[in-house]
Structures are given as C-alpha cells and as structure tokens.
Amino acid sequence: MKRSLFYAIVFFSTLGFSCAQGLDKVTLDDAWKNKIRGIAPEKATFPAKKKNILVFSLHTGFDHWVIPHTEEMLKIVGEKSDAFYVSGSKDIYEFEAKNLKKYDAVILNNTCSIGDHRNLFWDKLKKDAGTGYDSAALMKKANELEANLLRYVEKGGGLLVIHGGVTTQNNSWEFSRLLGASFDYHPPQQPHQVRVEDPKHPLVQAFPAEGFNHTDEPYFYKNAYEELDFKPLLYFNNAEIKNQRKGQELTEGKTYVAWIRAEGKGKVMYISPSHNAQSFENPDLLQFYLDGMQYVAGDVKCDETPIGK
C-alpha cells in the first residue's frame, strides 16, 4: 500500500526526535485511542470465527512506556475488525494450564524480565513471597508456568511476542527455541528502514514492497536466533544501524525484525516494532498486527519454511 510512504513522510517530518532518546511519550487518552480506532482495519483479512486472545503485560525489568498503548491498540484492532475478544492481564497465574485453555492465543506485551535469572515468573513469585522465601520451590513453580506455555503452544495454542517480550525468559533455551531467539542488546533508538523479506508472503501484504521508515531500538539477538529456525518477514540491513556494540559491529547482512514459526500444532510470531506508540499511527503496521494475531490464532495458511533448515 503506497499510503504508508505518505504517512511516514508526514509523520517523521513533523515529530522531530533524538536518536539517543527516541520519540517523546504520548498520552494514552481518548484522543489517541480515537486516532488509532479511526485508522485500524475495518475487518479481518482472513475469514475466521471470532476468537479469544490474552494480552499479558506484566514486566519486572525495563518498563517500556508503550506497554499500555500496545494493549489498547490490540484491543481496538480486535474489536473494530470483529475478529477477536481481547483480554488484558498481569496475573502470572493465567499461565496455569487450566487458564491457558480459555485462549486461542497469548500475546506477551513487552514482558521484560530482570536480574540474573531473567525469568519473569521467578521475578514475580520472588517479589510476592517477600523475605524468607524457599528459592527452590519458587523456581520449581516458575519452571512449571513456563512449561505450561510451551505445552500450550505445542498442543495448538498461539503465541505472539512483542518487542521486549523476547526477554521474558531470556536465559531459557527452551523459550528461546520456541520463540526463535533471545535478546542480546540494542543500540540507541534511531530511524532506519524496515524492509520486507518476501513481498509476496500473505502476512506482509499491508506494506509496500520497499518496506517503511521506522524509529525504534534495533534489536540484536542470540541463542536460538543463530539457528534461524523461523520464516522471516521483516528485517533491517546491519550496515545501516549506527552505534552498534564496539568490537561486534555488523557491516554486512541483515537482522530480522519479525518472523513466524510453527511449533507442534501451534503458531509462534515475533514482532519487534515498536518501542513507541507513534508507530501505531501507521495504518499498515496496525494491519500487520491484525494479520499476525490471525496467524497465531490459526486462521492463516502460509509458507512457514525456516530459512535455517
């Protein structure tokens, strides 16, 4: 859709931003919600029955200011398209097996973890336990909740992970393999071109073939990412990213921004954009999110061939 080039030119020419600090925070008010509602897709791209989605928005680590905006955007997109019932929660006990059964898909909304374990469930359990906690018992429960999520996807549930959600269980190889990556680091926020891997793929039809200009933290990854056990959708050229980690600068190749993979009977998707609520004022990105929600909910048949295999 050529309109995204127009939106990008107008949007980025009027904002003004610092590459080091990113975009200014946006107030989550009725005016912003109405703006998103006005440009959100009118209907679902792929025919399907209305389904239930959980947006999980707890963080114990870095607090992305965009978390409430992202949850609201997802609710608006699901409601306006009449494709989804979207519920929000910060309760880790939603990951009990009996509770996961209520949902066709789960979205991890910037669910950043912290500390040595980099385990969101452990972080929350430890905080709630206070002093004198049994660390072995808490870790056992944390591992149980993670295992529930893995098993949920294996049996047919969907998982969509947004931006900082990649760090949810950042030291867990099992979670890294399920998602396709763990977080390594990111340079400061900066404008860069997000490019389309395969313009013919049905999940990127919202974007023009040349992709779109975007201001964000360009994430780099580790662990399972090296296996490339996923089908890439979006990427940036490494040579175009400034202020990379000294001694590890990548001057060739590409780093993926969004991808999909099948896991057992379930579907998994990762979308890095965005750290900033202004990004959701691009209607093409809203369409991409809706299509991604449909993918993880099992509504989309498409090529999922991992490039690493």
pLDDT tens column, 188-228: 999 999 999 999 999 999 999 999 999 999 999 999 999 99
Residue 22 — pLDDT band, cuts 50, 70, 90? Answer: confident
Q: What is the pLDDT of residue 283?
A: 97
The predicted model gives 136-145 an average pLDDT of 97
301 located within any domain: no
Residue 165 — pLDDT band, cuts 50, 70, 90? Answer: very high
| CATH (domain of 179) | 3.40.50.880
159 located within any domain: yes
CA distance 296 to 289: 11
pLDDT tens column, 237-280: 999 999 999 999 999 999 999 999 999 999 999 999 988 989 99
The predicted model gives 102-125 an average pLDDT of 96
Q: What is the pLDDT of residue 24?
A: 93
Strand order in the sheet with 266-271: 84-89, 51-56, 105-109, 158-162, 266-271, 254-263, 231-237, 190-196, 212-216
Q: Is residue 17's pLDDT more than 60?
A: no
Q: What is the pLDDT of residue 75?
A: 98
306 located within any domain: no
Asked if residues 89 and 107 have their Cβ atoms less than 8 Å apart, the reply is no
pLDDT tens column, 169-198: 999 999 999 999 999 999 999 999 999 999
In order of 9, 54, 66, 170, 190, the CA distances from 13 in angstroms are 6, 36, 21, 36, 14
Q: Is residue 7's pLDDT more than 80?
A: no
CA contacts within 13 A on the Cβ side of 249: 9
The parent domain of residue 107 ranges over: 3-296
Q: Is residue 2's pLDDT more than 90?
A: no
304 located within any domain: no
109 located within any domain: yes
303 located within any domain: no
What is the reported pTM? 0.92
pLDDT tens column, 69-95: 999 999 999 999 999 999 999 999 999
Q: How many domains does the chain have?
A: 1
- Strand blocks (E) in the chain: 51-56, 84-89, 105-109, 158-162, 182-185, 190-196, 212-216, 220-222, 231-237, 254-263, 266-271
223 located within any domain: yes
Q: What is the pLDDT of residue 21?
A: 54
- 3-class SS at 38? helix
Q: Is residue 153's pLDDT more than 80?
A: yes
175 located within any domain: yes
Asked if residues 211 and 234 have their Cβ atoms less than 8 Å apart, the reply is yes
